[in-house]
Amino acid sequence: MNQYNFPTIILSGQGSLKEFVNRLKSKSHQRILVVTDETLKACGLLDNLTSLLTDAMVDFNVFSEIHPNPVESDIKKGTAVFKETQCDSIIALGGGSPMDAAKAIKIMAVHPSPLAQYDDARGGDQLITKPMPPLYAIPTTAGTGSEVGRSAVIISSTTGKKAIFFHPDLIPDIAVLEPELTVGLPPHITAATGIDAFVHSLEAYFSPGLHPMADGIALQGIELVLDWLPRAVDDGQNLDARERMLIAAAMGATAFQKGLGMIHSLAHPLSSRYNMHHGLANALFLPAGIAFIEASDLNTDQMSRIDRVRSLFEKRWPGSESLSQSSKQFVEHLGIQFGLSAHGIKEEDLEALSREAFEDPCHKTNMISVDRQDLLSVYKAAL
Ligand SMILES: [Fe+2]
């Protein structure tokens, strides 16, 4: 038996932010907590939302004290503001961090402390039982797809490690994909976040398990990235490209309920140890990770999946001999420099990285099972 989950209401395209605020008016919320971060406040993106809320006479309060990787104390502060200012709903505006923080505040708004007891690794989802305040999500990057996701990652104050909080009710009630909000992203962030969306779809399509619905979404997500990410990188003002990349990111996150793979496990330690951008880390392992899979002993279904994705590349840029080669050319075209060593990683770091990557759960749904030595070999190949 399988359970398939598909997203919530998605408002997409130019004008979707305005339409969202119009819809809010009819919901009669008492006060909304807008969860964002200092960067978005400073660059003025927050004003796009708050001016519309003010014009519509929707009462709100802004909470922006969130670390780039949200920590437990951020959630405590945000929850206190939510309660003290008598909010009854939440808007998350930003990239993955405000989204994660908003989901954790949503839990803590109505459940007793401490947050740690709701850690998914401890079966904490069973304790998330009360009706929670509505959550609306407005992404300002096109990558994580967290606006259609059901989990949040928060750094524990006791262990200093990332804890994952998961519950089906954490999915935002409305996701707003407003391309205007992403036009200011610089090319290298556009490229890195877009590759994250690509790898979500790719690893979901490659992961084992019967999920033809996720497979279909993943393939279309891959095509969108191949067609539109280069245009979004070349011209950040291209609203058609920005819109399609936001959709591709939401599709990638929808598809990866089927599973991710070894590329994400290899990438995660680079972010936790070296603070590397998650999308960039994925990009650095994309060709080496695919080459490892291509060189493995594959069954007919696995080979046909690789061939199917290769054909999507081939239609656009003919001439590559393998999917790993096509993906390398694609990433290079986006201006990303390959080689872990070019990004400050040394050969002596790889053993420890491979241990951490093996502890990461994503590789458990890789197309083929891998051990620590396999992960180490891909780190070496990507050096
Ligand atoms: Fe990712």
Please tell me the distance between residue 282's alpha carbon and the centre of ligand 1 in angstroms.
7
**Contact of 181 with 141, CB cutoff 8 Å:** no
Q: Which residues of the chain have pLDDT under 50?
A: none
Q: How many Å is the Cα radius of gyration of the chain?
A: 20
In angstroms, the CA 264 to CA 272 distance is 12
In angstroms, the CA 314 to CA 294 distance is 16
* pTM beyond 0.85: yes
pLDDT in tens, 38-61: 999 999 999 999 999 999 999 999
Check residue 317 and report its DSSP letter: S
Please tell me the distance between residue 57's alpha carbon and the centre of ligand 1 in angstroms.
37
Question: In this predicted structure, what is the pLDDT of residue 148?
Answer: 96
Please tell me the distance between residue 193's alpha carbon and the centre of ligand 1 in angstroms.
9
Question: In this predicted structure, what is the pLDDT of residue 158?
Answer: 80
Question: In this predicted structure, what is the pLDDT of residue 5?
Answer: 80
Please tell me the distance between residue 106's alpha carbon and the centre of ligand 1 in angstroms.
23
Please tell me the distance between residue 104's alpha carbon and the centre of ligand 1 in angstroms.
19
Please tell me the distance between residue 250's alpha carbon and the centre of ligand 1 in angstroms.
12
Please tell me the distance between residue 11's alpha carbon and the centre of ligand 1 in angstroms.
22
Please tell me the distance between residue 196's alpha carbon and the centre of ligand 1 in angstroms.
5
Please tell me the distance between residue 279's alpha carbon and the centre of ligand 1 in angstroms.
7
**Contact of 382 with 349, CB cutoff 8 Å:** no
Q: Which residue from 246, 253, 238, 256 is spatially nearest to 11, judged by alpha carbons?
A: 246
Residues in the chain, total: 383
Please tell me the distance between residue 269's alpha carbon and the centre of ligand 1 in angstroms.
12
DSSP labels for 59-114? Answer: -EEEE----SS-BHHHHHHHHHHHHHTT--EEEEEESHHHHHHHHHHHHHTTSPSP
Q: Which residue from 115, 63, 56 is spatially nearest to 84, judged by alpha carbons?
A: 63
Question: In this predicted structure, what is the pLDDT of residue 275?
Answer: 84
Question: In this predicted structure, what is the pLDDT of residue 249?
Answer: 98
Please tell me the distance between residue 87's alpha carbon and the centre of ligand 1 in angstroms.
31
Q: Under 8 Å CB-to-CB from 132, ≥6 apart: which residues?
A: 106, 107, 109, 110, 169, 170
